[in-house]
Amino acid sequence: MFTRNTVIPGLYRLPEDPVGPRVLIPGFASATSVRGAFGWFSAGWIARVAPGLAEYIARRGTSPIEFTVAPVLFPAEREAVERAVSLNSDEASRRVVDLFHDGRVNASALAQHALDCLAWMIATGTLRLRIAVPTAESNYHPKVWLFDDGTDQVLARGSGNATARGITSGVEHFDVDVTWIEHSRQRVRDGIAMLDDWSQGKSHGIERVVDLPQALKEDIIQTAPEDPPSPADYVQAATADADPGWAADAAARLTARFSRKVTQAPTLGNPRWHRVGGRPVQPSRRGRRGLGVRT
């Protein structure tokens, strides 16, 4: 159960303020259900909240973790989720036997094998991913965590995604509200309503929401590049949106900033870049194999 000393509410400024140890880890350790909505999602969050997540997984009576995420995954995460939906729970458990010690999830092993844990959680139903498909003129880019112990709720929302960098080392902010403080209760209720609506596709910016297996079957999940996009990639994304004025202006500004000669906005080759969640991605490109944790 949450107590006044379990989770510390307030405004967090990352990386100076440790939102993980003060909010996310104790949130998992005390909650009976966890929900979230994120534009960018990686296995890195698993490593960063491993002590609390291990307790959540081991404790009886907890509900499946439910995250509604954007239709874009990094290559290693895409491989992990594709592997997960092809396994039954027994097969998945055999693959992660090293994560357990005396029948309980080992937090240290969990952190070291976050991608394997991600696949195992999906295969066993411990984590349920839903994919929010934005409308053509919109994107899906929320960052909200909700922890519920059956009596009280903790809502954390801000600029940090469900990635290692988003909740630890990035320059981010989180606003944390709790229901045991009177002036916070309405904000928590409003946050719960947002999560309810987004998980059901009730937004002018969401075309539909589908479960992960169906999203993979329909091939609607795009693959983010291994490396961060370059300045030229953003120019290409603008060109793809048929906005040459913006692209020309961006090219001029980027030229001045990076001292790089750009005579015109580059034409698009193959594959074509699109903007998803504010960042260029390539559609339906299979990533390179690997088990490194994306940050």
**Structural tokens at position 195:** 């999560």
User: What's the pLDDT score for residue 289?
Assistant: 35
Specify the DSSP element, H or E, that contains 197.
helix 185-199
The model's pTM: 0.76
Q: Among 123-132, 233-242, 253-262, 285-294, name the one with the lowest average pLDDT.
A: 285-294
User: What's the pLDDT score for residue 190?
Assistant: 97
User: What's the pLDDT score for residue 117?
Assistant: 87
pLDDT for 225 beyond 90: no
Closest CA to 111 of 122, 103, 99: 99
Residue 287 resides in a domain: no
Closest CA to 266 of 286, 281, 244, 288: 244
User: What's the pLDDT score for residue 251?
Assistant: 55
Residue 294 resides in a domain: no
Per-residue pLDDT tens for 39-88? 999 999 999 999 999 999 989 899 999 999 999 999 999 999 998 888 77
Q: Please tell me whether residues 177 and 256 are part of one structural domain.
A: no
Contact criterion met (CB below 8 Å) for 216 and 82: yes
Q: Among 32-46, 134-148, 220-234, 279-293, name the one with the lowest average pLDDT.
A: 279-293
User: What's the pLDDT score for residue 88?
Assistant: 73
Specify the DSSP element, H or E, that contains 122.
helix 114-123
Q: Please tell me whether residues 91 and 236 are part of one structural domain.
A: no
Q: Please tell me whether residues 236 and 214 are part of one structural domain.
A: no
Residue 295 resides in a domain: no
Residues near 256 by beta carbon (within 8 Å), at least 6 away in sequence: none
Number of domains in the chain: 2
Residue 122 resides in a domain: yes
User: What's the pLDDT score for residue 263?
Assistant: 42
pLDDT for 202 beyond 70: yes
Residue 204 resides in a domain: yes
User: What's the pLDDT score for residue 108?
Assistant: 75
Q: Please tell me whether residues 121 and 46 are part of one structural domain.
A: yes
Q: Among 174-178, 198-202, 246-250, name the one with the lowest average pLDDT.
A: 246-250
Q: 223, 241, 265: which is the final residue of a domain?
A: 223
Q: Please tell me whether residues 28 and 118 are part of one structural domain.
A: yes
Residue 66 resides in a domain: yes
Q: Among 120-129, 174-183, 211-220, 261-270, name the one with the lowest average pLDDT.
A: 261-270
Q: Please tell me whether residues 257 and 163 are part of one structural domain.
A: no
Residue 35 resides in a domain: yes
**In whole angstroms, what separates CA 130 from the centre of its chain?**
11
pLDDT for 93 beyond 50: yes
Q: Please tell me whether residues 101 and 180 are part of one structural domain.
A: yes
Q: Please tell me whether residues 145 and 92 are part of one structural domain.
A: yes
Task: Estimate the share of the chain in helix, then strand, then coil, as percent rounded to the nearest 5.
Answer: 40, 20, 40
pLDDT for 229 beyond 90: no
Per-residue pLDDT tens for 11-46? 999 999 999 999 999 999 999 999 999 999 999 999
Residue 1 resides in a domain: no
What is the spatial distance between Cα 65 and Cα 63, in angstroms, rounded to a whole number?
A: 6
Q: Please tell me whether residues 16 and 87 are part of one structural domain.
A: yes
Average pLDDT over residues 241-246: 58
**CATH code assigned at 25:** 3.30.870.10
Q: Please tell me whether residues 235 and 175 are part of one structural domain.
A: no
How would residue 162 be classed by pLDDT, with cut points 50, 70 and 90? very high
Q: Please tell me whether residues 207 and 261 are part of one structural domain.
A: no
Q: Please tell me whether residues 211 and 79 are part of one structural domain.
A: yes
pLDDT above 90: percentage of residues in the chain: 57
Domain of residue 140 covers 10-223
**In whole angstroms, what separates CA 178 from the centre of its chain?**
22
End-to-end CA distance of the chain: 30
What is the spatial distance between Cα 174 and Cα 11, in angstroms, rounded to a whole number?
A: 6
| Average pLDDT value over all residues in the chain | 81
